[in-house]
Chain A
Amino acid sequence: MIFLSDFSVIKPEFGLFFWSCIIFALFWIIVGRFAFRPIAEALKKREDDIQSALDESVRTREEMAKMKAENEALLAQAREERSRMLKEAKETSDGIIKEAREGAKNEAHKILQQAKSEIENQKKQAITEVKNQAGLLAIDLTERLLKEELKDKDQQKKLVNNLINDLNLS
């Protein structure tokens, strides 16, 4: 097989083997340490950054949704509170009005009662007055009449009799 003597690539040369080992080892160590590893780390870091950014955005979106829901709940609560407060205020004012009206009515009633009793008193007083006056007038008249009538004796007698009769009757 003579042609193989020319086929030099099939006969590994020691020198080339030696240099291949050295250069490849240098390449592996130098480029591996100072380039491949930093590149891989940078890529990993970037991947992590992208992943965390994506996670962050998902988280933020969730948080936003949560916040929105919270806001809505708060709003609903506030609305409810407002309507409750309104209702309460209305109730309070109604109560006040009612109370006031009640009070006024009572007062009016009281005043009316007072007035009535005053009137009654006045009336009684007036009646008493009138009675007194009438009594006085009657006494006066009676005096006059008596003075007239009792000018004679008969009549005096008659009167006395009458009176005694009356007295008996009463």
Chain B
Amino acid sequence: MNFSTKFPINFLFSVLFLLAVTYPSFGQHENHETTHSEASSDEHHEGDICAHAGHHEGDFDPASTAFHHIGNPNVYSIGPFNFPLPCILYTPGEGLEIFSSGKFEFDFQGHGEGHKAYKGYVLDAGTVRKVIDPSFPREQVEIGGVAQMGEDYFVCYGGHPYALEARSTMDGGLFGGGRTSFYDFSLTKNVVSMFLVFAFLTWVFFTVAKSYREREGKAPKGLQSFMEPMFLFIQDEVAKPFLGEKYAKYQPFLMALFFFILGLNLFGQIPFFGGSNVTGNLAFTMAVALFTFFVVNFNGKKDYWKHVLWMPGVPAAIKAVIITPVEILGLFIKPFTLMLRLFANITAGHIVVLSFIGLIFIFGNSGASIGGASLGAVVSVPLTIFMMSIELLVAFIQAFVFTILTASYIGAAIEEHHH
């Protein structure tokens, strides 16, 4: 009962805070842009870029801190310590480069700023970027830091700025990305988290399956009795009501969705253990939403396609003009909202927690005022605890919502109508 009332409240909270957190950052970066427009005009000012390079520290910027922590860097942070991860970078025409992100020689305690460039790549805020200029040395060289000018990034080497490519993304430069000539298949923090969760869940469910085999006909025990209610909940509340008789065929998919999303949601909630934001990353939610899309549409029966393409019982004109286009749009909107819902809820949760923690630094004036920081801590700790407990709830609810909506889409697709 409790969670049902908190759920919308939490959602509003999340959205409001997402708004509140992202908005100030707008102003922050606009300043950069002004500098950039002044600086980029001629050669002389390009030297200034390098003069300011590496000055990421300074005034505390809650928004960029939050974004940094919910991102997907090439280093794994446990507590304040950074650990290198393998980089797998593929450039069409140039081939595959596989090396450890330790080659960038980032600080063990820091924000993942690489002090060296390697094979024409540099590490900025945990992210691998490629130097556009082919004359940039391929071997491991000392760099003077990475500077940001508006949307563009520069690496300083030998006192000269070299432009960097945007991060390898699928947006094709639409959302502020730039030219990306390489694909980043690195085992980033999120990928490593996924592998960890995958290994953990596999172990859990193999153990549970083994105990079902060995203790057949007996009452569940231990891990088995812990997982059984959840398993039965998804089976009896999600799979059976929506899928009817044929639930057994789709049950493994629904279970995989629920437990994988839940596992990743909860893994991201563990403090000081990376706090990886896998389910709050569009790439991940896009992947699972695509799985849902394909499972739904590959299993669609004749009736389903008839209802989508030519709804029976509606005048032909209305069908052609309204119903069919809307239904076809709906095919894509359904997985799209699945993708956005999970992403927005988890990201918003992470941002809210991070911005509450950021209150300590804002109140403390980035360490200048101990009293302010203490006051900030007094305010922020209860708020963070409250938010994190709500996030635990959201972790379950979003996994459940994703699963129940997937089940309802599959149920609509495999339903046989009898007119």
Contacts and interface: CB of A to CB of B under 8 A. Distances in A.
B253 A10 contact: no
Give chain B's interface secondary structure class.
Answer: helix
A167 interface: no
Give chain A's interface secondary structure class.
Answer: helix
Interface residues on A, range: 35 or more
A39 B185 contact: no
Contacts of A49: 217
A3 to B, nearest CB: 4
Interface string B198-211: 10011001101100
B28 interface: yes
A17 B235 contact: no
Interface stretch (A27-35, A94-102, A108-116): A27-35
Interface in B282-315: 282-284, 286-288, 290-291
Interface residues of B, number: 74
B256 A17 contact: no
Contacts of A169: none
A5 to B, nearest CB: 4
Given A2-B29, A24-B288, A35-B209, A15 B185 contact: yes
A43 B239 CA distance: 14
B228 A43 contact: yes
A139 B33 CA distance: 197
Nearest to B88: A15
B282 A11 contact: yes
A16 B191 contact: yes
A13 B72 CA distance: 9
Contacts of A14: 168-170, 183-185, 283
B195 interface: yes
Given A13-B169, A27-B202, A2 B72 contact: no
Interface string A36-69: 1111101101100100000000000000000000
A2 B194 contact: no
A43 B232 contact: yes
A1 to B, nearest CB: 7
Given A4-B176, A8-B67, A15-B191, A30 B202 contact: yes
B22 to A, nearest CB: 6
B183 A15 contact: yes
A34 B171 CA distance: 37
Nearest to B192: A19
B265 interface: no
Contacts of A5: 29, 151, 175-177
Contact of B185 (A10, A19, A32): A19
Nearest to B72: A16
B251 interface: yes
Interface of A: 1-21, 23-28, 30-40, 42-43, 45-46, 49
9 contacts: A2-B33, A5-B176, A6-B64, A13-B184, A13-B283, A16-B72, A18-B185, A20-B283, A36-B205
Given A7-B67, A38-B212, 6 more contacts: A3-B26, A8-B167, A9-B72, A14-B184, A37-B252, A43-B231
